[in-house]
Structure 1
Amino acid sequence: MSDLNLALIVAAVGIIGGVWALNWWQERSFRRKAEQAFEKPAEDVLLERKPKTAARAEPDTPRLEPSLVDTSPAVTPVTSPSPQAETTAALSVLPNTVLDSGIDFIAELHLTEPVAVRNLQVSMEDAANIGKPVRWSGLDAEGEHWSMIHPGAAGSFRQLRVGLQLADRKGPVSDAQLLEFVRIIRLVGEDIGAVVELPQRTPALMAATDLDTFCADVDVLIGLNIVSRDGTPFSATKIRALCEAAGMQLADDGLFHLRNEHGQTLFSLCNLGQESFSSATIRQMKVNAVTLLFDVPRVVGGVSVFDRVAKLADHLAESLDGELVDDNRRPLNEQGLGAIRRQLIELYRRMEQRGIQPGSPTALRLFA
C-alpha cells in the first residue's frame, strides 16, 4: 500500500469520526434544550385549568415577548401647552379601559372631518363576525374625550381607534382573522376618507401567541368541594340559608355568587350534581356535594378573597356535617389549603410581572 493510499484512509477515518462527534454533540445539545423546554412542575389537583369553549392552540415557536409597533405620535411635555399640543396629547392617549396596546392590535384612522357613527354601522357588523373581540373607540368632535363606540349610537368622532383582541380563552388570533380585520379597516378608511395606520402584522401574530401561552399558564379555576360524610344528602334550603348568610345570592345561572360593590363575582357555589340550583325547585332539592369556585385571574384582591373562600368552605362543611375534600375525594386540611395558597401567590406574581392585574379590565377581557 502506497503512502498516498494510507494517507487517504487516515483522512477518511478522521472525517467520519468528526461527523460522528458533531452529530453526537448536536443531539446531546438538542436533548438538553428539549428537556429544559418541557420541564413543568406537577399541578395541584384543585388548581384546574379553566375549561375553554375551544382548545387553546399550543404554540410550536419559542416564547416571544410582545413586540407590537406603536404608531401613536409621540407627545413631548411642554411647560405651557398650546392648543395644538393639547390636541396632540388627546389624540395620543387612550384609556386602557377602552383599548390596550398590550392585548389589542390597534388601527388608527385619521380624519379631516368628523364621521357619524351611522356611517360605520356596516363595518362594525362585519368586524363583529371575525371571531375575536373588536372594540371601536373615538375622539369626540371637540377633540376632548375618547369613548367606546357602540353599534347604533349617536354622535360624531374626529379620530377613530379600532382594536382587535390578540387572544382570549379560545386561543390566539389567527393570521386569517388579522387579515380580515385589516381588510375591513382599509375599506372603512376608503369609505370615510381617513388615513389608516396599522401595526406590523408579523410581530402582532408573535405577540398573540406569546400572550396566549401566558394566559393558558395562569388561567386556573380553584374548586373546594364539600361532600356528605355518610352519604346523607344536604338540604338545598339549608345551603341557601348558609350562602345568603355569607352574602351570596342565587343567580340565573343556577349558582350562588358573592359579588363586590361593582357587581363582579368574587367566588361562587354550585351543585356537583347535574341539577342546578333554582328558586322554583330548591325547597324539594337534595344535594350530595357542592363546590366553591374561584376563577383565579378574574378576581380583584385574589389571595385575600381565597382566604374567605377557604374560611367559608370550612364553615359549610361544619354546618352541613360534611367534609372538605379535593377532586379525588381526599380530605383537605389546613396544610393542603396552604399549598394551594402558595401556588396562588405565584400565579398572581406572574400576572403582575406581565402588567396584568387580577380582576382588572384587561384581565376580564382576556379571561372572559
Structure 2
Amino acid sequence: MTSLQISLLVFGAFTVAAVIGFNVWTSSKNAPRQADFELKGVSQDKTDNASTEPVEPQLVSDLGSLPLPEKKPFIDPLIDAITPIELEALVSGDAILAALPPTRRVGTKPFSVEGLNESTGEWEAPLAGRRYSAAQAAVQLANRVGPINDIEFSEFVIKAQAVADDLNGETVFPDMLDEVARGRDLDQFASAHDAQLSFTLCAKASAWSPGYIHQHAARLGFVAGVIPGRMVMPGAVQGAAPILSLVFDTQAAMADDPALSAIREFTISLDVPQINRTEAPFSMLRDASKLLAQAMDGVVTDGGGHVLSDAELDAIAADLEQLYDALDQRELSAGSPQARRIFS
C-alpha cells in the first residue's frame, strides 16, 4: 500500500469519525432535556415527585402543603332560588336522604336540600341519625353555563315538590319570573367579572421532557394532577380549586417512553374568582412563571408568542385589583363559597 493510499485511508477515517461525532453532538443538543435522574420500573409520577432540592423563593406555605378540610357552603339566598318546606313533625336525616332525587342537578344547575338541625338550630346538609324540624330546597341561579331558564325552574319546582310530598311537608315557591330575572342579572355581572389567566412558557432552545418539567415544577410546590400532563399547586383548603394549574401535552405524558417526548411549551393558569385574593395568586402565577423560565431556559408569553414584559404584568395586576374590589362589593369575593359556585 502506497503512502498516498495510507494517507487517504487515514483521512477517510478521520472524516467518518468527525461526521459521527457531529451527529452525536447534534442529537444530544436537540434531545429534550431530562430530569436529573430516571428510575426504570417506577411510574413517571413517582419519579417526578422524588426530587426535594429546594429552590428559593418557596411559593407554597406550610399551610398550603397540609390542606385543611373545607366546610361545605350552605344554601345562600344571594345565588339560590329557595323554597321552604314546612314539616308537620320532626323528620330524620335518613328520611330526607331517602326523599332526595337520584340526580342533584336541575338542567345545568345544582339542586340541593338542607335540614334545620333540631339540636343546633343551624341549616345543614341532611345526615343520617340526626333530626330536623324544617327543610328547604334550592336551585342555583347561574353558573358559567349561563342563567337559570324557565324550563330549569319548572324542573326545580317538580323536584322540590316531590321531596316535600315524601316528607309530608308544605312548600311555598318564589315567583318564577322574579327568580329567572335574578339569574340573568347575576349571570351578566359574573360574565363581566370573570377572569381566567394563562401564561405560556416556551423553550428558547432545547425542548423539555415530561420528567424535566415535573422536576422543576415540583420544586416550586406543584404536584401531579389526576390527568396526565397536568400539575396543580394546592391551596390551604382541601377540596377547593388549586391556586395554579400547569398543563402540557397529554400525549407526551402518556408516551411509552416519556423521556423521548419533546415538549416546547406548557401553560400555567389561574382561575381568578376561585382563589382568595389574600393568597396573592397572581403574584404566585407571575413568580412561578418567571422562576421556571429562568431555570428551564424559556420565556413567558401570552400564548400568542408575545413575550410579556414586567410593565405588562404590572398592568394586569392593577386590573385584577379592580376586579377583586368589584367582586367584594357584590358579595361574591374571589375564593368565597358563593364565587366558587357561580364561577364554575
Query: Same fold per TM (> 0.5)?
Result: yes
Distance 1:282 1:214, change over 3 A: farther
CA distance in structure 2 between the partners assigned to 1:302 and 1:281 by the alignment: 41
**Counterpart position of 1:206:** 181
Which stretches in structure 1 are left out of the alignment for 5+ residues? 1-94
Give the match's secondary structure for 1:355: coil
Distance 1:334 1:174, change over 3 A: same
CA distance in structure 2 between the partners assigned to 1:215 and 1:226 by the alignment: 29
Give the counterpart letter for 1:181 in structure 2: F
Give the match's secondary structure for 2:294: helix
**Counterpart position of 1:69:** none
Q: Residues 303 and 344 of structure 1 are in contact (CA less than 8 Å); yes or no, is this contact kept in structure 2?
A: no
Does residue 1:363 correspond to 2:318, yes or no? Answer: no
CA distance in structure 1 between the partners assigned to 2:343 and 2:132 by the alignment: 30
**Counterpart position of 1:147:** 124
**Counterpart position of 1:269:** 246
**Counterpart position of 1:343:** 319
1:304 to 280, 295, 307: 280
Q: Residues 270 and 277 of structure 1 are in contact (CA less than 8 Å); yes or no, is this contact kept in structure 2?
A: no
Give the match's secondary structure for 2:174: coil
Q: Residues 98 and 135 of structure 1 are in contact (CA less than 8 Å); yes or no, is this contact kept in structure 2?
A: no
Give the counterpart letter for 1:124 in structure 2: L
Does residue 1:249 correspond to 2:226, yes or no? Answer: no
Q: Residues 224 and 326 of structure 1 are in contact (CA less than 8 Å); yes or no, is this contact kept in structure 2?
A: yes
CA distance in structure 2 between the partners assigned to 1:141 and 1:304 by the alignment: 40
How much does 1:227 deviate? 0.4
Q: Residues 96 and 126 of structure 2 are in contact (CA less than 8 Å); yes or no, is this contact kept in structure 1?
A: no
RCO higher in structure (CA 8 A, sep ≥6): 2
1:99 to 59, 75, 90: 75
How much does 1:167 deviate? 0.7
Number of residue equivalences: 270
CA distance in structure 2 between the partners assigned to 1:276 and 1:213 by the alignment: 39
> What TM-score results when the alignment is normalised by the length of structure 1?
0.67
CA distance in structure 2 between the partners assigned to 1:348 and 1:209 by the alignment: 21
Q: Supply the RMSD in Å over aligned alpha carbons.
A: 2.4
CA distance in structure 1 between the partners assigned to 2:145 and 2:92 by the alignment: 33
CA distance in structure 2 between the partners assigned to 1:106 and 1:290 by the alignment: 43
Q: Residues 117 and 155 of structure 1 are in contact (CA less than 8 Å); yes or no, is this contact kept in structure 2?
A: yes
1:352 to 318, 328, 331: 328
Give the match's secondary structure for 1:125: coil
The answer to which of 158-167 and 235-244 deviates more is 235-244
**Counterpart position of 2:112:** 135
Give the match's secondary structure for 1:286: coil
1:161 to 136, 144, 149: 136
> What TM-score results when the alignment is normalised by the length of structure 2?
0.72
CA distance in structure 2 between the partners assigned to 1:144 and 1:291 by the alignment: 47
Q: Residues 303 and 345 of structure 1 are in contact (CA less than 8 Å); yes or no, is this contact kept in structure 2?
A: no
CA distance in structure 2 between the partners assigned to 1:99 and 1:276 by the alignment: 43
**Counterpart position of 2:13:** none
Give the counterpart letter for 1:182 in structure 2: V
Q: Residues 143 and 158 of structure 1 are in contact (CA less than 8 Å); yes or no, is this contact kept in structure 2?
A: no
Distance 1:363 1:342, change over 3 A: same
Q: Residues 126 and 184 of structure 1 are in contact (CA less than 8 Å); yes or no, is this contact kept in structure 2?
A: no
How much does 1:194 deviate? 1.9
Q: Which runs of 4+ in 1 moved over 6 A?
A: none
2:148 to 168, 173, 177: 173
1:24-52 Cα shifts (integer Å, max 9, x gaps): xxxxxxxxxxxxxxxxxxxxxxxxxxxxx
Give the match's secondary structure for 1:110: strand
Distance 1:276 1:217, change over 3 A: farther
Which stretches in structure 2 are left out of the alignment for 5+ residues? 1-70
CA distance in structure 2 between the partners assigned to 1:309 and 1:142 by the alignment: 45
Give the match's secondary structure for 1:356: coil
CA distance in structure 2 between the partners assigned to 1:257 and 1:127 by the alignment: 29
Distance 1:280 1:249, change over 3 A: farther
Paired residues for 1:54-69 under 5 Å: none
**Counterpart position of 1:197:** 172
Does residue 1:217 correspond to 2:187, yes or no? Answer: no
Among all aligned residue pairs of Structure 1 and Structure 2, give the percentage whose two residues are the same amino acid.
23
Q: Residues 296 and 302 of structure 1 are in contact (CA less than 8 Å); yes or no, is this contact kept in structure 2?
A: no
Give the match's secondary structure for 2:237: coil
